[in-house]
Amino acid sequence: MAKSDGNVKILSVNKKARFNYLIEESLECGIELKGTEVKSIRSSKFSYSDSYCKVKEGQLWLIGFHISPYDFGNIHNHDPLRERRLLAHLSEIKKLGKKVAEKGYSLVPLKVYLKKGKVKIEVGIGKGKKNFDKRESIKERDSGRETLREIRNKY
């Protein structure tokens, strides 16, 4: 589990999304879940692998987001890969839909957290990075580590 800030408890951050996309804008959304899905998310049994968001018929949908079945859920368990509706204002959904219609833009989940007991997902709109951009990110990260290592060794 990641850090928590007051009444916000961060469950997971999608690091791969920030590596593969240049995130321009982000939006906090609620998510429509079934009972056992909430329990699985609270115990951090979910995965971002190949998940993305799509605007269909004026609604925002989360696709490919894997939530493991709850261990004690018996017959009331859910389909782990079902499409889940994200809850956002209509004007925000329309704005995101227009942006995604442009070539090269995608909607990806960035972060899952609990806010006042409710499960929230931060969705980001980003443009896919090229390979040279990714190499640049790796170089920056490595140089940052090197400087931290040097500072630590000095003291």
pLDDT one-digit tens code per residue, 25-82: 889 999 998 878 888 888 888 888 888 899 998 899 999 988 888 888 777 777 888 8
Provide the residue ranges of all domains of the chain, joining segments of one domain with +.
4-129
Longest Cα–Cα distance of the chain, Å, equals 60
Say what the pLDDT of residue 31 is. 92
The per-residue b/e assignment along 18-56, b for 16 or more CB within 10 angstroms, e otherwise, is bebbebeeebebebebbebbbbbbeeebbebeebbbbbe
Say what the pLDDT of residue 102 is. 82
Domain 4-129 matching CATH 3.40.50.460: the answer reads no
pLDDT one-digit tens code per residue, 88-103: 999 999 988 888 888 8
